[in-house]
Structure 1
Amino acid sequence: MRQAILALGHQILKESCKDLSPELQQPEQLITDMWETMQAADGCGLAAPQIGQPIKLFIVDSQSIYENLDETGRATYFSKGDTGIKETFINAKIINYSEQYWEDEEGCLSIPKLFQPVSRPWQITIDYYNANLEHQVRTFSGTTARIIQHEYDHTRGVLYIDHLKPLTKKIIASKLKKIKKGRVSTSYPIKYQSNNKL
Structure 2
Amino acid sequence: MILPVAVYGHPVLRLKAKKVTIDYPGLEQLIKDMWATMYRTDGIGLAAPQVAKSLRVFVIDADVIKDEYPELKGFKKVFINPQLELLAGKKIWMNEGCLSLPLISKRVKRPTRIKLSYQDEHFNSKIEFFEGMAARIIQHEYDHLEGKLFVDYLDPFSRLFLRKRLKDISSGKVRVDYKVLSDIIHD
- Give the TM-score taking structure 2 as reference length: 0.94
AA aligned to 1:100 is K
Q: How does 1:1-198 map to 2 (within 5 A)?
A: 1-66=1-66, 69=67, 73-74=68-69, 83=73, 85-194=75-184
Contact 1:58 1:89 in 2 (8 A): yes
Equivalent residues of 1:16, 1:156 under 8 A apart? yes
Any idea what SS the aligned residue of 1:167 has?
Answer: helix
Give the SS at the match of 1:128: strand
The letter for the 2-side match of 1:86 is K
The Cα RMSD (Å) is: 1.3
Given that residues 62 and 143 in structure 1 are in contact (C-alpha distance below 8 angstroms), is that contact kept between their aligned partners in structure 2? no
* Percent of aligned pairs sharing the same letter: 35
Shift of 1:61: 1.5
Distance in 2 (CA, whole Å) between partners of 1:16 and 1:84 is 30
Which letter maps to 2:90?
A: Q
- Kept in 1, the 8 Å contact 2:63–2:72? The answer is no
TM-score (norm 1): 0.89
| 1:82 to partner: Cα distance | 5.2
Equivalent residues of 1:84, 1:144 under 8 A apart: no
Aligned residues between the structures: 184
Quote how far apart the aligned CAs of 1:84 are: 5.3
